[in-house]
Amino acid sequence: MLDIRQIREHAEQLQKVANRKGITISIESLLTLEQERLACLKECEQLRAQRNRWTEELKHSQGGDTGSLAQEVNRIRAQVRELNEKLRPLEAARQRLDSRCKELMLLVPNLVSADTPDGSSDHDNVELRRVGAVPSFAFPAKDHVELGSSLKLFDLPKGVAAAGSRGYYLTGAGVYLHRAVQQLAIDLLVSKGFTLLEVPLLVRESALIHTGFFPEGKSQTYSIEGEDHWLIGTAEVPLVSYHSGDWLDVSSPICLAAASVCFRKEAGSAGRDVRGLYRVHQFSKVEQVVICRADLSVSEEMHEKITAHAEELLQLLELPYRVVQVCVGDMSAKNYKQYDIETWMPSREQYGETHSSSQLLDYQARRSNLRYKDEHGKTRYCYTLNNTAVASPRILIPLLENHQREDGSVYIPEALRPYLYEWTEIR
């Protein structure tokens, strides 16, 4: 959430951003409504102040015996009653305006960085760099579904039978591979100074609002009917919520990580990436979250660092990838600046998104009330950032496809071997 002063100052820019993101909101209407709310609030405060003065007069007029004094008391009481009758509908109107302004404020997207590319979809993202050589096979290469079937790494038909569309079972070495990449990511982040937490998978709606996922992401989130519980789509939500409402020491950035199961409806994606493990409803992620002081240079530095952590993991997995800067229309409402990392997937003959790395400035912290005192004793809202260190089973797609060999086996990168009983291959 932005401060109303920011919205007023950047109204034109924010309207353009909202339009690019397909968010239905009129910034002008919000600002007009805010003026109405302030006018109503001012009138309510004036009437309450007058009521308080009259109430104070009544205290000093009680107990008098003279007729004139009794008349004065009755007159003041009548005025208080009349004022209360006037104040009651005004208070109701103020509450309605407060509620509506808050609803609209939650829809206002974040500002975007000056270097964020303009554009409306992932086709407009800008490539920053490529790392690693794309493999050239001297044999007919298999896709991850064929490899998974022949090596008994997962069972898609039984997954669909048990769980419906996009369901899957990981089996045999597929289970160990899935867990190995997560543990490698965890150990990497811990070595970088991150604090590891085990987080709740069910959170309240307020946690999703405070972290900026609602109202925009409601259609993608599973809820428990009849309860205020929602399944997380990323550990970012409980990691940020861990400090919700806290006064923090951000003299050094707070770095948190978690490995969690995640859930996503994939609403609106019917027919897209339906083969195999690319787009599933249940997956596991190792997430990194950073909370730092409100300093753009610190935020930029941490953004590069958490992106580098994800790149280091891909290098350990010996996978070719590229980094792109995400355009305005492809970023979620809460992001100020975003990089995506896309890993080469031979069966798709293109890079596929495997990681996302975002700066949010104080957009998330204002909602979650993450605060600190600066060197002048002034209250400031923190800046927050997040990045996917690894997401599985999607990462298994490039891992299997890039490392396949002509005899049908799959090479295991050296970095994974300590987590896989020192296997050098899967066959």
pLDDT per residue as tens digits for the range 11-41: 999 999 999 999 999 999 999 999 999 999 9
**Structural domains in the chain plus CATH codes:** 4-107 (1.10.287.40), 122-426 (3.30.930.10)
Q: What is the pLDDT of residues 37-51, one digit of tens each?
A: 999 999 999 999 998
Q: What is the pLDDT of residues 213-238, one digit of tens each?
A: 999 999 999 999 999 999 999 999 99
Could you give the percent of the chain with pLDDT greater than 70?
Answer: 97
Q: What is the pLDDT of residues 375-384, one digit of tens each?
A: 999 999 999 9
Active site residues: 264, 279, 353, 356, 394
Yes or no: say if 387 and 192 are a contact pair by the CB < 8 Å rule: no
pLDDT score recorded for residue 53? 87
Q: What is the pLDDT of residues 232-275, one digit of tens each?
A: 999 999 999 999 999 999 999 999 999 999 999 987 666 667 78
Give SS3 for 345. Answer: strand
Element (H, E) at 304: helix 296-316
Long-range contacts of 45-49 (CB under 8 A, 24+ apart): 47/83, 47/86, 47/87, 47/90, 48/87
**Residue matched to tokens 């069966």:** 347
Q: What letter represents residue 88's amino acid?
A: R
Give the integer Cα–Cα distance in Å for 135 and 128: 21
Q: Is the dihedral of CA 411, 389, 135, 123 positive or negative?
A: positive
pLDDT score recorded for residue 80? 85
Element (H, E) at 127: strand 126-131
Give the integer Cα–Cα distance in Å for 131 and 398: 14
pTM recorded for the entire structure:
0.92
Give the integer Cα–Cα distance in Å for 147 and 400: 7
356 to each of 33, 224, 270, how far by Cα in Å? 36, 27, 22
319, two tokens: 């996978």
366 to each of 106, 354, 380, how far by Cα in Å? 11, 29, 9
Give the integer Cα–Cα distance in Å for 170 and 363: 38
Q: What is the pLDDT of residues 63-121, one digit of tens each?
A: 555 566 777 778 888 888 888 999 999 999 999 999 999 999 999 999 999 999 999 99
CB-neighbour burial class of residue 108 (10 A; exposed 0-12, middle 13-18, buried 19+)? buried
* pLDDT for residue 10 is more than 60: yes
pLDDT score recorded for residue 387? 98
User: At 131, is the pLDDT very low, low, confident or very high (cuts 50, 70, 90)?
Assistant: very high
CA dihedral of 417, 419, 422, 427, whole degrees rounded to 10:
-80
Give the integer Cα–Cα distance in Å for 164 and 369: 39
